[in-house]
Amino acid sequence: MKRLFIHFLMATALMLGACSQSEEKTDGKKEGSAESTAIPESRFVTIGTGGVTGVYYPAGGAICQMVNKGQGSSGIRCNVESTGGSVYNVNSLLAGEMEFGVSQADVVYKARVGQEPFNSKRSTLRSLFSLHTEVVTLTSRADSNIEKIADMRGKRINIGNPGSGNERTARELLFVCGIKEDELALAGRLKASEMPDAIRDSKLDAYFYVVGHPTANIKDVSSSLPVRIVPLQGNCVNTIIKTQPYFVPASIPGGLYTGVDEDVPSYGVKATIVSSTKVPEEVVYEVVRAVFENLKDFRLQHPAFKDLDHTNMLQGLTAPLHPGALRYYQEMGWK
């Protein structure tokens, strides 16, 4: 409701501005003459992200910033919205509640083929581009004695809020590694923004977070509490990487967080920008064009984006390209 009200106010302002410009025509310019300038029809779009302390929210904000730079020529106004994460974003954009979403590539894959938590194939999902690699990260209190995957038994572990990619990925890891949720002292369902306070207040021993690094979430915790980032490796992790087409080996670089000086092995998945076939080709084209024409500025919006280029941003996609995105890439000679 809040978003609809904001859109109403913005649309009203644009309509009044257009009327004012129409009344102020001078120099005898006629409609349809070569000298007249067409005002593009305004369109408001929303991109669903994640918790404000993760990377999805600044990613959405950066995309909107690039799009809104060109609002005068494209007529597109972009709004970023904090949401419950990957699964929520996929469901919301397919329901027509938003036009774009940030989602883990594994969640997009499962939506496309109809695997849990999706009860049917979401065949209208389309990709725009990918971003950073999101690393499956298990952050624990240093005094929790969690040093490897098996040590989670009997501990209070936050799995992730319902409907998030965190929850799906953590549950998959536990299952493949032979750890039942009822073997945990607590299988928490907190949102990403709630996890730092919970572990600081000793309500959790550790929490999962599938995220690009560095992230303010873990910086916040490590600056106020001794922490350990637990290595996620071994036969069960190797099985996950070998059997799932969207996972790749990854690591959390040392030196990003207080007390974490060495690289920590793990695995990860691409964060991707998705839409649906319901979103017009021209709208998607303008969004993609805005990002790539301002890629140098885009990289500066978050440390996780610093190595992005047109090659790696077309890798790791698990849904077909939207026609609007494909059109831009073909024009650039990238496809």
For the stretch 53-68, pLDDT in tens is 888 999 999 999 999 9
pLDDT tops 80 at residue 79? yes
What is the per-residue pLDDT for 17?
44
Q: Same domain, yes or no, for 151 and 226?
A: yes
Task: Specify the 3-state DSSP secondary structure of 221.
Answer: helix
Q: Same domain, yes or no, for 195 and 212?
A: yes
Average pLDDT on 140-163 reads 96
What is the per-residue pLDDT for 37?
38
**Residues 219/259, Cβ–Cβ less than 8 Å:** no
202 in a domain, yes or no? yes
Six-digit token string for 139: 């952050």
pLDDT tops 80 at residue 8? no
209 in a domain, yes or no? yes
Residue 120 belongs to domain with CATH number: 3.40.190.10
Report the Cα 298 to chain-centroid distance in Å: 15
* Domain final residue, candidates 250, 270, 290: 270
* Domain final residue, candidates 248, 270, 292: 270
pLDDT tops 60 at residue 13? no
Q: Same domain, yes or no, for 155 and 265?
A: yes
Cα(143)–Cα(154) distance, rounded to whole angstroms?
14
What is the per-residue pLDDT for 73?
85
pLDDT tops 90 at residue 47? yes
Domain hosting residue 125, numbered range: 42-131+271-332
Q: How many domains does the chain have?
A: 2
For the stretch 298-331, pLDDT in tens is 999 998 899 899 999 998 899 999 999 999 999 9
For the stretch 255-276, pLDDT in tens is 999 999 999 999 999 999 999 9
Place of tokens 């969640």: 107
7 in a domain, yes or no? no
* Domain final residue, candidates 223, 239, 270: 270
